[in-house]
Amino acid sequence: MDADLKSIAAARRCAETAFDAYRAFLGTDPKQVDAIVDAMARAIEPEALRLGQLAVEETGYGNAEDKRVKNLFNALSVADYLRDVTTLGMLWSDETTKIAAFGEPMGVVAALVPVTNPTSTIIFKVLSAVKAGNAIVCAPHPRGVRCGIETVRIMADVAEQMGAPKGLIQCLEEVTIQGTAELMRHRRTSVVMATGGPAMVKAAYSSGKPTLAVGAGNVPCYVHKSKKGDIGEVAEMIVMSKAFDYGTACVSEQAIIADREIARDLRHELKLKGAYFCTPAEADRLAGVIFNGKQAMNPERVGQSPQVLADAAGFSIPPRTRCLVSEETEIGWHRPLSAEKLNPVLAFYEARTSDEGIEIAHNIAKFEGWGHSSVIHSDDPAIVAQFAAVPTGRVLVNTPGILGGMGYSTDLEPSFMLGTGTWSGSITSDNVTALHLINIKRVAYQSRPWRDIYKEYGS
């Protein structure tokens, strides 16, 4: 049997088994559901580094230490958030309107998993799906199957030990595009959670099933002149965020826009923090390494260290370089480094005025990043309010893009799935959580005499 047929058959088996498990799980006491979720999170904690190492070894993307942090964020911060959220049973009631709302599971979740975050995304989606009373089948990227299987195994084993039905949490072991497509459109699948590249997201929305999917992020980061006295901390936040896991997070900064008054100081501080500013020739060679052509990111250069990228582009950098920077003046595919880059590479723009800086941020967000996230560093509330018109679902203020967007350094909902809204064809601009994986049933009592309609609207 060829690989596609094996994958299609596996998808069908998983979907049917998951549906049976979901039916068996229906009606489980919410306290027991919470206990299962907590147990799965605790089981991941001691395995976080090992899973990160497995992900790097298999995919070749990022670094194990930062993937450990991503795994722990989901096993700890996301789990802590879920503990205080009600998803099943009565959600709320209003005595005045005589309406009560009840949460019910959606059914079987088909979870598409990106190669850039193959273990942390599974942890997030499994915890969220089970918290909402659903079964889940994970479909990893073909390049991240082994680490995906291992992550699911750890969580499924402990869930079953806690009384969850076998098959509630599964992972495709035979993965092809056709098999993943079969999982998404299978009659037992209720909802698709898709995280990945544009092709994957398009396929998810074409599956005919309700879909939560996210788009690309080309995150502009505007540094306003009011941060002059704090420019060293701003530089560290930007470099840390972009260097984290070698730039594999789409919520990390992609382009810095600096007011002219502080641009020189910011360049200096960025260099002190480990940023290397490329010459124009080096930047052009770097773009040729990162991209295979217009709108075609080279998958072999995603999540690579600055040293690997510089070596491939044929230039030398200092040994402790954390990210690479290209000075830019234009935006568009004629300047590829103005687009999203899933590696530790930043564009740098200088703005003559605040209005120009915010306009540049608008244009960057609209170029390959509609709806995702934007970052501003400013102590002027009026400037922040003006910047907030940038067409992104998250506007993050005075915080690193990655930590603010995923809900660690802000009070946004902790999430590893950031909606991009209708700007980019997504159904939601929220940080997706377990609350997006339930149906809400409303029980409504009569609150006024029904015959009054004839008095109010009669002739």
Number of other CB atoms surrounding residue 206 within 10 Å: 12
For 78, residues 6+ apart whose C-beta sits below 8 A from its C-beta are: 41, 123, 124, 127, 128, 414, 415, 416
Q: Which of 316, 247, 239 is nearest to 274 (CA)?
A: 239
Strand partners, 371: 392
State the DSSP string of 223-281.
E-GGGGGGHHHHHHHHHHHHHGGGG--TTSEEEEEEEHHHHHHHHHHHHHTTEEEPPHH
**Which residue, chain included where needed, has tokens 């641009």?**
263
Spatial contact of 121 and 150, defined as CB atoms under 8 Å apart: no
Q: How far is CA 16 from the centre of its chain?
A: 28
Cα–Cα distance, 404 to 138 (Å, whole number): 26
Distance CA 417, CA 429 (A): 10
Distance from chain centroid for Cα 403: 11
Q: Which of 138, 250, 278, 323 is catalytic?
A: 250
In DSSP notation, 74-135 reads IIIIIHHHHHT---SEEEEEETTTTEEEEEEE--EEEEE--SSSTTHHHHHHHHHHHHTT-E
Calpha distance 218→17 (Å, rounded): 39
From CA 124, how far away is CA 174, in angstroms rounded?
22
DSSP code for 437: G
CA–CA distance from 160 to each of 22, 88, 136, 168, 459 (Å)? 13, 20, 14, 9, 64
138 assigned to active site:
no
Q: What CA–CA distance (Å, rounded) separates 173 from 13? A: 11
Tell me which residues are annotated as active site: 250
